[in-house]
Homo-oligomer: A and B are copies of this chain.
């Protein structure tokens, strides 16, 4: 199941104390929470102390070590909408209107040791937050997936949530308060966070024009009116989508290297950046990068989904330069062959979750090996070395696919018969139909999003804007893009709810295949009447004659990805 995959520190490729992982910003024992007590092991174990490997073995013996608050986080993240729905239906559980985690007179007092004893189903699952102690065991019963889903256990959620600041939303905290059973012993309420530094203390500076969605981790989009200003999106205002704090790689330390696990150990490579640059011919690719969740805010108008509230700016177009992954894999012994046509290439970033599981995903080997696939290991973006926010020193560029595949701070490549087992590959970046909710979902039934479907956006004017006509015409500008290298062959615009369609002018050159870049468009439409609201629709057609569905309603999915319906905005056309 997905949460187990997520939190299993024994997963292949996630040797916790490896050299590369030791350089991750998360590998800091001061803020990684102490392990929950196992039922057979009542001692506290620092997950990251010197005897980490022994701890790992012990955890395997106890059989409970795989359950950490990372899992609890995902449990909450995944289930809160469900639980809300569930509760409101049955009128059993309401939220509690008090400051979450505050001391509540009259409740029993428990020590952190008491809390730590409740870390599995037989004992009940307790957690603490500031001064509050909570028994979240009922969550297990509510959830149809039952105890297969991670049950967090026996400690404070604060160290974890300091990483996932996004999670500290009022709804989550108020719901948690419903499960309040007591107060933490006075004096212990700050212990969990004592001696911890902020993992986000060393973030890079960002351009103030970026529209910030979350600060920790940092996620921000480009204002859409700036998107259409240039074919190439300037790096400083390019959207940023992080899952964790930004790694800070110091090349001069000599610690950075790229590990490539090829056909077998004999063929494996270990390259520093200079070696990669000199051993493999540089190759440049102009390609758009788009988050699977771009335009989620439009989908949320149908019904809330779970994810960052992206407008239309989680996309950008850049020139990327690096070594062809194909060349590197050939050097690692991989061959063009029918035998490996169902294999995969896994990528690990230096960014990682609190269990030190790196951000990791995979792509089909056929895409990596395709001489026309243009997959590169990029060290430059728009003519400059990558910035930290865009993966310095090295990121994968997988043209035509969703941004989730373009792993930043790349440190490890492995060719394998199976997809990555990571949470990000298995249990995120997938889509389902509108009738599939978090209760029912079986992530294994859907493929990971790789190539993306065709989309288009009106960038100017923006939704709700008051606009003036120019020579009795309404000027529109925007972009369109499709995955898989499929070029945009037509953009249609309508200002009468689809009764009449106008063909927009394409501003950028288009190829029918290997068209990784986006295509900007403009249209000047005659408007008969002013002083009233006008609804604008845009849709694009790609070189396979795919086009966009009309509305978000039937595209809706719980994760809010692939929001690629017609872009519809309303503007007020003013008298001139």
Contacts and interface: CB of A to CB of B under 8 A. Distances in A.
A500 to B, nearest CB: 5
Interface stretch (A99-107, A264-272, A458-466, A541-549): A541-549
A492 B490 CA distance: 28
Contacts of A453: 544-547
Interface string A469-510: 000000000000001100001101000001011110000000
A279 interface: no
By secondary structure, the A interface counts as loop
A500 B437 CA distance: 12
Contact of A498 (B489, B514, B553, B562): B553
B547 A550 contact: no
Interface in A435-460: 435-436, 445-447, 449-454
Contacts of A384: none
Interface string A509-548: 0011110000000000000000000000001010111111
A168 to B, nearest CB: 32
Interface residues of A, number: 51
A364 B446 contact: no
Nearest to A453: B546
Nearest to A454: B546
A434 interface: yes
Given A372-B366, A550-B550, A490 B433 contact: yes
Nearest to A342: B511
A551 interface: yes
B546 A550 contact: no
A484 B544 contact: yes
A431 B366 contact: no
Given A452-B545, A549-B549, A554-B498, A372 B562 contact: no
Interface in A10-25: none
Interface in A341-377: 341-342, 364, 366, 371-372
A326 to B, nearest CB: 13
Nearest to A451: B544
Interface in A311-353: 336, 341-342
Contact of A433 (B371, B432, B492, B551): B492
A513 B544 contact: no
A536 to B, nearest CB: 15
A157 interface: no
A342 B509 CA distance: 14
A29 to B, nearest CB: 41
Nearest to A492: B433
Contact of A550 (B371, B545, B551): B551
Contact of A544 (B434, B452, B500): B452
Contacts of A514: 341
A512 B447 CA distance: 8
A555 interface: yes
Contacts of A539: 554
Nearest to A292: B545
- The 8 A-B residue pairs with the shortest CB-CB distance, nearest first, are A451-B544, A433-B501, A435-B501, A453-B546, A433-B492, A546-B546, A549-B549, A550-B550
14 contacts: A342-B511, A364-B513, A432-B490, A434-B498, A435-B502, A446-B490, A450-B512, A452-B544, A452-B545, A453-B544, A454-B546, A483-B544, A498-B554, A547-B549
Given A341-B372, A484-B484, 12 more contacts: A366-B372, A435-B502, A446-B490, A450-B512, A453-B544, A453-B546, A453-B547, A454-B546, A483-B544, A547-B549, A548-B549, A549-B550
